């Protein structure tokens, strides 16, 4: 059974204070690891897909990295508009569905 | 550029009532999914349809039925709503197991 655990559950940062969110996973053959952003009252919004250990992807202040056991979402010099819940999910080689972690709620204060 | 459209956005039901949640996608994706999101539980898969004409159970299928009406549309039905089904429901679609796109959700309250 695929499992995804995200930590911390909540993170408060000051504007400009860089940090990282963790996603640990176990999966029967990783097809892809996904990061999503979710704002209150909205559906998850796609950020990144990582496919193999060592892969990295960047978008503005966000950088996602992947190892064989975990993924990190690094946030550099965050702004208040980066406040949201960040979701991690994995897809296995059957490719039929995503298994999600519980999410990290990020709050960035000015 | 609508992506995945869900209706209704909000619904209040009485225990025992039935309703159907509608979902349509315009990206020509083969696979469609229904998830529910509860506080502290994350997103959990209810049912999915890998392609038109097929449906399969996910992690939490009890109390629900689905219909893949055509390639675009995938509906979720609650035959006899229970308070435990109070949740936010998300529909999603994908192609080839990548590029999952989610709708904006249906917020359902069962009283």
Q: What is the 3-state secondary structure (H, E, C) of B3-64?
A: CEEEECCEEEECCCCCEEEEEEECCCCCEEEEEEEECCCEEEEEEEECCCCCCEECCCCCCE
Rounded to a whole number of angstroms, the distance from the CA of B39 to the nearest CA of chain A is 9
* CATH number where A91 lies: 2.60.40.10
* B45/A42 CB distance under 8 A: no
* A98/B104 CB distance under 8 A: no
Q: How many pairs of residues across A and B have Cβ atoms under 8 Å apart?
A: 55
- The domain tally of chain A equals 1
Residues 6 or more apart whose Cβ sits within 8 Å of residue A23: A4, A5, A6, A33, A35, A70, A71, A72, A73, A88, A101
In chain A, what residues touch B41 (CB-CB under 8 Å)?
Answer: 102
Say how far apart CA B8 and CA B78 lie, in whole Å.
14
* A44/B58 CB distance under 8 A: no
Q: What are phi and psi of A16, to 5 degrees?
A: 90, -10
* A43/B43 CB distance under 8 A: no
Say how far apart CA B81 and CA B99 lie, in whole Å.
32
Domain that includes residue A43, residue range: 3-109
pLDDT, one tens digit per residue, over A57-97 is 999 999 999 999 999 999 999 999 999 999 999 998 876 78
- What string of pLDDT tens digits covers the 111 residues of chain B? 679 999 999 999 999 999 999 999 999 999 999 999 998 778 999 999 999 999 999 999 999 999 999 999 999 999 999 999 999 999 999 987 777 999 999 999 999
Does A44 contact chain B (CB < 8 Å)?
yes
Say how far apart CA B93 and CA A87 lie, in whole Å.
17
């Amino acid at each position: 059974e695929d499992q995804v655990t995200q930590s911390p559950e909540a993170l408060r940062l000051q504007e400009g204070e860089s940090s990282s969110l963790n996603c640990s996973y176990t999966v029967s053959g990783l097809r892809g690891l996904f990061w999503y952003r979710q704002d209150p009252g909205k559906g998850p919004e796609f950020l990144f897909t990582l496919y193999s250990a060592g892969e990295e992807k960047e978008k503005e202040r966000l950088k996602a990295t992947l190892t064989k056991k975990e993924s990190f979402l690094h946030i550099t010099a965050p702004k208040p508009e980066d406040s949201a819940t960040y979701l991690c999910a994995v897809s296995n080689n059957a490719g039929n569905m995503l298994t999600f972690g519980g999410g990290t709620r990020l709050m960035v204060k000015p | 550029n609508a992506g995945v459209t869900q209706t209704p956005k909000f619904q209040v039901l009485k225990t025992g009532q039935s309703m159907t949640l509608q979902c349509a996608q315009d990206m020509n994706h083969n696979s469609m999914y229904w998830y529910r999101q509860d506080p502290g539980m994350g997103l959990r898969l209810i049912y999915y349809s890998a392609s038109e004409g097929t449906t399969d159970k996910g992690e939490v299928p009890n109390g629900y039925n689905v219909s893949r009406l055509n390639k675009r549309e995938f509906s979720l039905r609650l035959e006899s709503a229970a308070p435990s089904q109070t949740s936010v429901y998300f529909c999603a679609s994908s192609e080839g197991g990548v590029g999952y796109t989610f709708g904006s959700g249906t917020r359902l309250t069962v009283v």
